Every structure is written in C-alpha cells, then in structure tokens.
Structure 1
C-alpha cells in the first residue's frame, strides 16, 4: 500500500471550494453502528478495529494528507474493513481521498501504479482545463449537500469514465471511476436555508445551475469532514458494447465513419491488437450484389480487390454463391495451395494478410452480410475470439440490415425524385430556383452551387400510424414456424424409423425435441445460426442420403423438403402471413392517404410527405411561403388540424375492419404531435428531401422521433394504444384547441366520450410533455 500524496487535479493545484477536515471520526461512528447491528463473526473484528481507533489519541485530529504514513496501521485497518479479504492489492484499484476528492493519500499498489503510468488528471477526463474540474468538484459538493441536508436526489452520480491507450496493445481501455462518500459528514454553520424542490429542480442535473446554487446555498455555511473512497473498475468490454449500441441509435450521416467506429469497438472486444475486422452488407440491385458503396469500403476483401484491380464480376459470383449457402469459412494460413483452390484469396495474399475468416450475419433468419476477421499474423483460436463477439452479433446484424434498408431507401428516393414529378404545391419553387440557376449561371464556373430551396415560417403537422408490437409479432411468427419445422422433421424421422433401424434416428429425434424446448424461449441470432448449421450439416444430408438410396422413402422425405420453400412451405407460413398482414394494413393506410390528397390540398396548398416504417408516418407543412400568391390565415391551419384528427379516426376504423381479412391479428396505434410554432424547412439536395432548418427547429424533429414509445408518467403504460388517438403537446392552448375538435367529432359519433388528459414521462432532453387521448368509435363504419 502507498501513502504518497496524489493530486487529482492535473495541474496539481488546490482548488477546493469548501472547508474540509480529513478525519476518521465518521468511519468510527460507522463502526459503532455495525458493532450494534452485525450478527456474524465480523462483530469481533469490528470491535478490534474500533478499539484500535479509540486508543489512538490522534484519531480525532485534523489529519493532513502528507502525514498519512504516520497512520498507516489505521489506514490498513480501513482497507481490511472496506474490501473483500481475497482481493489482491496489486490488482485492485482502490484509494482513500480527502472529503472532497482533491488529494489521494492512501492507495493500493495497483491504483498507485496505474495513476503513475496514465495520469493526466483522473477527474479531468474529457475536460480541457481545471475550470471544468472545479465545476465537477462543486457538483460533487452540492450533490452531497442536497442529498444529506434536504433529501433531494440528483441524476448526475459520482462516477466518471476514464480512457487511455494501452502502450502495449495500442487498444483503448476504459475505466469507471466511482467516489464513495459514505464516510463524509457535513457540518452546518448557522441556519439551514429553507428550500423547495420545485425551486431548484431546473439546476439539479447540469453544470449550468451551479452559480445559482452558490447564491442560494453559500459553501461557507458548510464543512466536510471524513474521507472518500475511490475505486476504478475496468469497463472496457461493456463500454465497447455500449459504443456499438450508441452508433446504431445516434449514428451520423457518414456511414463509412459509423462502420469505422463499430469496427474499432470490435477490436476492443477482441482484446488482441493483431486482429482486424471487416463488415460487408449484402446490397443488391435487381437481385445482383453490388460493392461500390461506402458501406462496402469497410470490407478488406473488397478494398484489396479494388486496390489490385481484380474483376468485380469475380466477387459478384462469389457473393451470389455464398449467399446460397452461407457458412463460416476461415483460413488460419493463406498458402499458395489454398489460393489455387480458392482464387479470391489471391488479393489477400498479395496484401500480406496471413489469416482470414468469413462469418455470416443473420437478421430475422436472413443472411444480411458477413463479418470478416483477419490478421497480418496467423490466428489459431477463432473459437475463443467468436465467444467474445457473441453478444455483439445481434448489433452487427442490425447495422448491416440498416445499411441494406438505407441503400434501398436511397434507390427509392432517386426513383421517386428523378422519375416522378414533385408535388404541385412546391413544384413552383423548384422551377424558380432552377431558372435562377440557369439565368445567373456561368459555364466557366464549374463549382457554382444551386440555391437551396427554403420555405420559411411553415406550420408542421406530424402523424404516425404504427403496427402494435411488430417486433414481438415477428419473433412469435419465427417461433411458430420453427416449431412447425421441428414437428415435420420429427414426423419424418418417425416414419423412417418404421422401416429403417438406426440408432442415429433416435439421436436426431432427441436433438429436435431439444430444439423444440429452445425455440419456446427468445431466439437469438446465434440460435438461428446454430439451428441452420444443424439442418445443413445433420438433418438435410441425412434425409438426402435416404431419398437417393431408399426410393420407397422418397415421398415422405420430399414432403419435408417442400416445407422449406419460403414461398409455399409450412416452415415459413407464419412469417408469410405476418408480412402479408402488415402489407395489407400499410397498403390500406397508403391508399386512404392517397385518396384524401385532394381534401388536404383543397382548402390551402400544403406539402405532404409519407414515410414507410412498420406502419406509416407522415409530415405536412402549411404556410404562406408555400403558396405566396394566396393569403394565408391561421384558420387554414385549424382546418387541416381538424382534418388530421378526423382522418386518424378514419384510419383506425379502416385497420380495425381488416381484422377479418388479415391472416395474423394485428392492431394499429394512432399518434399526432401538436406543434404550434412555425418552423423553417429546406430541401436537402444531397438526400433529396425536405428537412427542418436551424437548431431550434431540429428540436422538433428530435421530439418527433422520441414520442412513439413514450410512457404515461408514473406508470409502465404506453401512451399509444389500439383503438385510440394520442395527441402529444406542450402548450395548454394546444390542448384547448384540440378539445374543441374532439367535442365536435364526439357529437358526430366519430370519437368516444372517454377523453383523457395525461402527463408523460421525461425523455432524454425533453420535459413537460403532455397528451390527450381519446377512443375511436368503431360502431360507425368507415367512409372509404
């Protein structure tokens, strides 16, 4: 153990903002309580330690961190009490610090060595200077004051994340730094000011309110006594997984960068600097694989093929064949003999890659791409490596599927925008901008940019019709299909057993029944991969052998292979039914919205854009700038809001009436986001769509994307429910306006008399959301 003083501030300056006294008294009081409450043999140890402390005449003094060596025996007793006996101090990152973390005066060998090797200011992680360190320190102080003196808890915890690059592996490692203030006592000087939670709530969870808290609660009124306990925990692997999740949820528009970040996290998970990764989604045009995209640039075999000018047709054929029978393939070494047998390895050998592996990635039982593992050294333990990556595979599958979806959407947008005319309501603006470009253009100016199409001060309307629990429905359909498949296999094996006497048949039956048990739970991507391997390597070869060598058994075996056909087989029946049902619902919604386009545009021109999700979402923008030749009045906005509410009720009825037509029972939810303030939108030439303009307006988009699964405050109930229309709002005036529309539609028997006013849970960066919710009257038939 070390008693050398370590300054936490990276500039080694003393900047504590409150009086403090380093003392063991709070710890001694804690020991006294434990002696009274502890019922095990630990009581004797606690008594022994307590006697040691009470016998020390210096124990109540104000100790200086520099004098810690004189209290080594007491400090080691504290370490023995607070840590498990089996921990090795050469491996355990643990230390004692002043009441407000400023100076570490006692630490394990592991902590001291870690700090000596990597210290750049432990509490200055991701902080450029000591000013921010001071803010963090003040936040720590006020967290304790508000919690101990007032019982107010805060979101910000006494935990930080520290990262450094391991000099040996060159890989980034992450450590969680946690400060335990259990042995810190706050002494009040004078009267404690009266505080109401509502008064300071806005300042509890960020650094911006520190100055206000200082005026309300001067730090001169408090003294901190005792010590804090600091521990470091290696969270590298969990942080790498969280980084992958964050990239999937909050990725930037640059897909190549997203892939690079995720591949970097995979390297961290592997914990081997010699291992490299590549990712390749299977993108297709007219069912032919294509590789000339940013996503494909993260595949080593594609990158090297381009570098060495290999024919793209070779890899198209390879990808096409591989997708027919995807399976793990790995080469611990790439030799001339293997290159002769597998020509695609040639470009890897020329790039001096010595080991290479391909592993199929599945999303909803569909092969969506591959993960490559390669090295410029030989890799022997692929199995150990894959076990480390197993938890990341569902996330990788989601990444590759996202790339496929985004690529398909890009194609669809190009087709729509290039080969379909723009909506008449905004066509005039594009004509105007194009003419200005031609009129003022200079043929010699190759870099001239076209003017951005902008509509200022338009009112947005957002609506979303979502298929309820679509993810759960997909997993259930998959389970039902796999159960049907296992039942077919078992039935076929039992039939063969009547004529063929092999113990292997009983073994296969046993394995199938075991799979039936696994299928009853949640099915992971790895389970699907393992099941596919079982079918391809055991079941199918077994049946193929008897189909070819026992003609009399051919009919029953043919029936099994027929069930595997995606278009007609029973092994895909539930998924087909689900997709058909979802498609019918979405087609019905889209058809209805197409029919009512004239109604929407009739009173005043507006821009109307639909998006395909598991249901249908749409944006509507209306305002003077969209139709400058016609006077705009807010009454047109009110009219379209009433239309939106009425149309949502109509859509709810239409989807409800499909119950007898769809093959799997599905329900829809209806959501409206009410936004009273006008925003600016612009046409993004790179994505060929309209988007909001400006930082304030972006907040509208953020809220829009986060409310689809919002819960009612204080409950686990989702706001959106089948048979109801939910209307999310901020402003009470918005609720009053919509209440009038609801009353009107209730009198028309369109809506039920069950209006609810609801408070919603806080979302990330969004507070104060409220909602109206009202039921749709299914007793009246739909009009379309």
Structure 2
C-alpha cells in the first residue's frame, strides 16, 4: 500500500470486518426495537458492499466513502461532527478518511498540506506494530499508551497544540506462519533490549504477521494545558531578569491561551510594607495600572470599589469598556493610564498568598469587550504557578536588599531596618535603570535621645597599677638571680645590671608608672636581661632552678610578667561582656514599651544610646508617655547593672568599682546614618552640642570643686532644665520606695564642659544586694565591707 512507511515490513489490509462482526453479535442480544432496526438496516446495506468486510484497496476508499460513513456512524455520530476531532485511518499509515467536519476545518488552515502523523509527531509505526503483536498474539504486558502531540495553525495563524490518541481496537493481528512464532525466551530478550532495533527487526521478519482492520485517531485541543506548561517553564527561570525575550515569551503564551493576537500582558508588584503599587525591577514588563509612574500609593491609585476588589477580596477587576468605565469613577488614575496606552478592555487579576497580595497580573486589549468575566476564568489555572514564581522572586529580591544593606552599611538595628530597606529598594530600582546612584544618608527627625553608661572608676590608674605590680615582681626576681650569678661568677656586668634594676625599682616605688617608663623597662628586660638567662642558669643548679622558675612566670610571647595586668583585663572583659548581655536582655523588654533605636558598646564599661520618636517607627502612633516610660526603665536598668557589676566580680580575680551616669536631653534632635562612615550620628550643628556633652560629661566636676560628678556607689543624672529635674525626682522617689535607691539625694551644678554651660545633676546612692535572690539591701559602704570579708 503506497501510503505505508517505506520501511514497514508487515502486510496490512484495510477492512471493517470487526465492526460488522460486532453488529452481528449485538443483533443476537439486542432487545430495543429501534436498535434492532438500525442494526438490520446497516447490515443489509453493508452486504451490498462486500469489500468493506473482505478488504479494500487504497483507491477504493473514495468509491466506498458513503458506505464507510454509514457503517461507522455509530463511531462517528453526525451530531458531534463539529465538536470531535476524529478520523479513520489505514493501520500504520498516514492516510486519513472519514474525517469529522471540525477536523476538516482544522486541516484547511494548515497551508493546504495534508495532515501527516509522520511529519507532525514522533510516532514510530514499527514499534507500535511490534508492540501490538506482542500484546495481541503473545499476551505480553506492553504499554502502548505513549502520548503523542502535534501542532497545527488556526485561522489566525497561531499554532495550537493537540494530543493524539490512536485506537487500534478494530485491528486484527494474525501470525502468518508458525515458523515465525516467538518463544518465551525471545520475548524476554526483546523486552530486555527495547532500543535494539536490529534485534527487533530480526524477530519480526517481513510479512511474518498480518494486520487487518482500521484505526481511529482522535485529537484533543490541549493548547491551554500546553501554554500553562510553557508558562510554568518560563516562571521557573528568573522572573526578575530583565529580558525582552522572556517578556515577549510570556506575552505570546497568554496570546495562545486567550487566542488573541492583540493581547498585551503587564504586571504590577504590590509593596505591602508601604501599601504601594510598584513596577517590576529588572524587568521590561509593562504596568498598565501605573502607566508612566514607577510607583503609586494604592489608595491614590484605585477607587474604593477597585481597592476592595484587588486588595481586600482578592478578586479580579474586569473592565470590558474602559471609556464607559471611566465615566463612573471619581479616581480615574487607572482608566486614564489605560486610555493613554490605547487599551479598551482589561483584566487586573490579583495574585495572593495566605491572605497577602503579591501583585497584579494585567491583561489588556485595544478591543472592547474581548476581555471579560468568561475568559478571565482561564487565569484560575495559572494562579498557582504565578504565585510560586512571585514568592521566589520576592525572596530573591529581599535577599538582594539585605545583601545591598550589608555591603553599603554595617549591621542595622531592627527598629530602623525598614528605612534601610526602603532606600535599598530605591537604589536597586535606580541601578536597574542604569543610574550611577549610590546609597544615601538616612535621617530620622525629631527623636528624643537617652544616654547612659556604667564605667570602671579610675580604670587607667587601676590598669597602670596592675602593670606596675607585675614589673616590680619581675625586677625582684631578676635582681635575685643576678645576685646569685655574681656570687658564682664575679663579673662587673652583673654589678651594672643590678644597679640598673635598683634604679628602676626606686622609680616604680615612689612614682606612678607612665608609658615611657614601662617601655624602657620592658625593652631592657627583653633585649638585655632575658638573653643572659641561658648563660646564667648554667652556673649552678641553684641558678638553673631560679631561672626556670623565673621563665615560667613570663608571658611566652612578650617575655614579661603579665599576671596582674591579665587579671585586670580579664575581669574588665568578663564583667563588661556579662553587663552587655544583661542590657541586651533588658532591651527586649524596653522594645515592648515602644519600638526604638538602640545601640550599646563596650569601653572600660558599657555605654548605650537610645533614640525614640515617630520617625523611627513606621505606622505606629507616638506619645510622650513612651519617652517617660523609657526614662524610668533606663534608670531602673542602670541600678540593676550597678548591682550586677559587683555580683559578677565575686568569682573574678580583681575587685573593681563602678560609677554610673545618665544624660537627659530635654529637646528632640535629628540623627543621621552617614553612609561614608557607616555609623549613626546627630544631625546638624546645633544637635552636635549633645554629642560634646555626652563625650565629656563623665569627666566633669561639680562647680567650684575638683570633685568628679560621677562617683562610685552613686548614679548621676545630668540635665539642663527644671522640668527634667522634677521628672527624675519623681522617679527617684518611686525607686526609693522600691528599695532601689537610698535617701541620699544631691542637687548639684556642674562646671562648664567645652563651652556648654548650665548643666545640673542629681546624684543619688544605690542600694545593693549580693545576688538576685537576696532581698537584703546594702549601701555601697556595706557592700564593700562584705566583699572584702570574703
């Protein structure tokens, strides 16, 4: 048969015998008189066309077309000819006949070319035939249901995708000669080697089997399914990648889904933090909602009804006639943008996740009414894919924002993170448009500052004293060693070394140590004395023991005794670290009062800054009562830190003393994050006065005296106006009743601090307890007595 594939090796006969046999068998059991009449009439008619049962040649199909159509009327109902896409076919041939009208209409748009399974699919006739033989003749479990697809143009020239099913129920397979029968071993070998075409052809030689009957192919339009699959593939890529190709690909997919060649697709991102509609970053996708704008507040972009559709109910906003729609609006922002773009109908479809809007998918057309509530339902099938892509894109965008902040800034306090993210979004958008813009300084206006510190009293003197004790100890050991060395080996150099050691001991005994003295002594010890030790220890066993003991006391890296200095440094480090952790824990409570900016840092003690005000927090009302609460919290926390300072030292090698101070600033000020310095600072020349006071105040004296305002066992509260004085006296009275503070309250005036005059202070004694479970309250004097009794 000339329409069979050239390499097809089996004998094929076109016949309808199985349909005729089916009708005959059915007639023996049928009881419905109408059906019986139909079957009798059909069989009588077919009897006049014996070739339908015995077999037809290719050229005879056209002659017998009417008879074939009559016989197959049960399989090809006339009522469905405009709905079904179906045809009969010669087995394993690309020749189609008895096509439905819908199939004929589809093929008429294919540039006049006859539809061909061979050219439009990857249908493998030999595999299908041999599989059917194994299944029918030998009962092998062979799955022949591989899906086939083809694409054919519609009347507009758009390719539509069809799934093809092949029905071989009416094909009879027969073994032509027993010599070709396959053994079980051969069948298993074939199933083990499905890709070995030479093996398969050797087991199915030419004309070894016959196929008699006809096949039926049915096509199902899966253009929508295929478009969704294509869209899913695109969305799995980089949704935010700026690419005309990707944007065009997405638009073409929707054109295919909606069968509209003038369909336009856009997208608008929803910024739920600022309640803004924004155009997509890193994408050429249009936003028909925004028009020429990059962003717009949602309340200003939408009328009340549209706002409810998109942001509250998450339902589509469907505009079938834009100009008529505009006449009904007070807020014409969207309608004006659509008209400017030449759009006459549109669908704005919200994509949401867990009650949160992600963005708006936009479909637009220059034609009225072509976009409507009926075809809008098609978008329900793609919502989940868009949602997944948007969530991933949103996560990647947030990662980009955080990476930009980490690159441009230091670590940022959570209270102001939103402001940095806002600036990062602005910068990302600017850079996406090829701008050379950079991260700008960020300013927070009208904030109230709170500052506090707990500091080691006389930290420099205490550390110098520890260094002095270490050096004296080392010099005494060296002096002893060289005295024994002189006795064993009376060399003049030993006298010279002992003389120099004595001079240093006298200087350390009667004077405070300074950096020059320390450097000179360490230089001699490292450069002159320690190198002698290898020689000295060989003079006697006694000297060997003395030198060994001496070397064991030295720091291995510096060659100097650091025992007391290390003890001091360790104590300060451990106490500061614990105080900082305690303050961090307390800060979590303070943030519950009202969110605020907080930073703390360790020096010889622990200092902290707090800034509170409406510009720090977005979307939360501010009231001065929050400031008063934070001031009381700060005072209580500083008292607790005073207690912790001494409690933490009980297991440490050095006993330290602390002095605490709070600075009250009556006015608000602005703070600025300086991007070049990567830090916060007060903003403006006038506000710089606050920084001057903050840095110098702990060294200030009481006016007319040499007495420092900060004293151990007391908290000093520095202020400038009478209102602050009255406010803190109220707090002090409350905390005295709570047994946090004693009754020794001093009202003091301070000397000038770098030109800042008029500073005043309240100084009040702290009551202590030995541990957090101990309710016994101690004055500072009593506390020291107990500590020294340990």
* Same-fold status (TM-score > 0.5): no
| TM-score where L is the length of structure 2 | 0.44
Greater Rg over alpha carbons, structure = 2
